[in-house]
Amino acid sequence: MLSILSATCHTISKKVQALVAHTIEYYTKDRLLNTLVIYAAIKIIVLLGAIAISLRYQPAALLQDPMFLSRWDGGWYQAIAYNGYAYNYPNSAAFPPMYPFLIKIFSLNQPAAMRWVEVLISNAFSFLGLYFLYKLVPLVVNEKYRLRVCFAYMVFPVLLVCNLVSYSEPIFLAFTIGAYYFWKRARFGLATLFAIFSIFTRQIGAFILVIFLVDMLYGFFSQRQRSQVIRQLAVIIITCAGLGMLYLFYFYRFGNPFIVSSVEAANWNGNLSVTNLFYNLRVYGFGFQGPSWQPFNYAILPVFLIDTLLIIATIVTMLKRDVALSAYSFVSLATYLLLNTWPNSFVRLVAGIFPLYIFLGLMLSDNWQKNIVIGAIAVVIATHNMFIWISGAWLY
């Protein structure tokens, strides 16, 4: 009897292993549909896992606000979409117009639908960003890294949470990655349009100009793309005009083209200064002392340092593969260190530097079993962060 039972268990074990191996082999084939399906599955796992934990430990927090995915910034975007920037003026000016505009359009200006629509928009754009990344990777690095880069995008914990809730990160990433994809494909009209959309989603979308300019100059001096310089220069000029249009919008609406900087400086210490750079490095990067406000979550210190080192590694690695993306990463990191004095926001801003996912994809193994273990750990972290979000705490 024991021998029969042992043989049965061994047979079942082999079949399970074969099924798992077959599943991994099937879904690690370079197919766009497979990539999108896996991403959807990862999102569902994180969301259902966080809900299950909340029902076990904090059911009241979940039941009090079933639409927890639209908390924090989502409330601002929804209110601006329905009431305009008159809502909580001037603080509402810190939130750029693209996301509220999309909410207003796709909800048909129905307030009851806005909370659902803004979450759907965020998630839809997260898939669009993944699509453009899938298409971009072969134009930047070797095609064999495509699935690894997309996998890094799918499981990066901070981005995974931001792509689930009503944040502007997925919209910003989709427009930014799409702009560079169309640029590399020499479809300059779409590149310009997406670049301007990125700027109207977040002002730092203007950093796409760094990519355009550096790639144009590199192509010119390396004699790769001299025939396209005039068209590329036109893209840069029109994108600059798009940035000017954003400031004209702020001037027309608020009488102050730089109101975003004023509001962020007044409410979130969002002013550019060298003092901020040394303060951030001293406090968060090296942990020599805590900030002046209390209580302070000291667990953010290693995360801050790790994120900083990741972007530095991205800058160095991409320098040999795509100098434009290296320059973009450098400008982004330098600006965030000069600007941001809120530790959690830095983590979220870093997640929006898309060359990071190309770097992480390059670092992943050829062995997908190892990659899946890393991904599982990242999903557990994202699930824990999602649980914190459901509990009502501000996370990023």
Q: What percent of the chain has pLDDT over 70?
A: 80
Poorest-confidence range of 113-117, 212-216, 241-245?
Answer: 113-117
Q: Is residue 19 part of a domain?
A: no
Q: Is residue 86 part of a domain?
A: yes
Structural domains in the chain (count):
1
Q: Which long-range contacts (CB under 8 A, 24 or more apart) does 200-203 make?
A: 200/96, 200/97, 200/98, 200/242, 200/246, 201/96, 201/98, 201/99, 201/168, 201/171, 201/172, 201/175, 202/96, 202/168, 202/172, 202/352, 203/96, 203/246, 203/260
Please write the tens of the pLDDT for every residue from 20-69: 554 555 556 678 889 999 999 999 999 999 989 888 888 877 767 767 88
* Residues 6+ positions from 271 with CB-CB distance below 8 Å: 261, 264, 265, 339
Q: Is residue 262 part of a domain?
A: yes
Q: Is residue 188 part of a domain?
A: yes
Q: What percent of the chain has pLDDT over 90?
A: 50
Q: What is the pLDDT of residue 223?
A: 65
| Spatial distance between the Cα atoms of 347 and 332, rounded to a whole number of angstroms | 13
Please write the tens of the pLDDT for every residue from 304-345: 888 889 999 999 999 989 999 999 999 999 888 876 555 557
Q: Is residue 386 part of a domain?
A: yes
Q: What is the pLDDT of residue 291?
A: 45
Q: Is residue 12 part of a domain?
A: no
Q: Chain-wide mean pLDDT for the chain?
A: 84
Poorest-confidence range of 40-49, 115-124, 219-228?
Answer: 219-228
| Spatial distance between the Cα atoms of 145 and 362, rounded to a whole number of angstroms | 6
The domain containing residue 207 runs over which residues? 32-390
Q: Is residue 25 part of a domain?
A: no
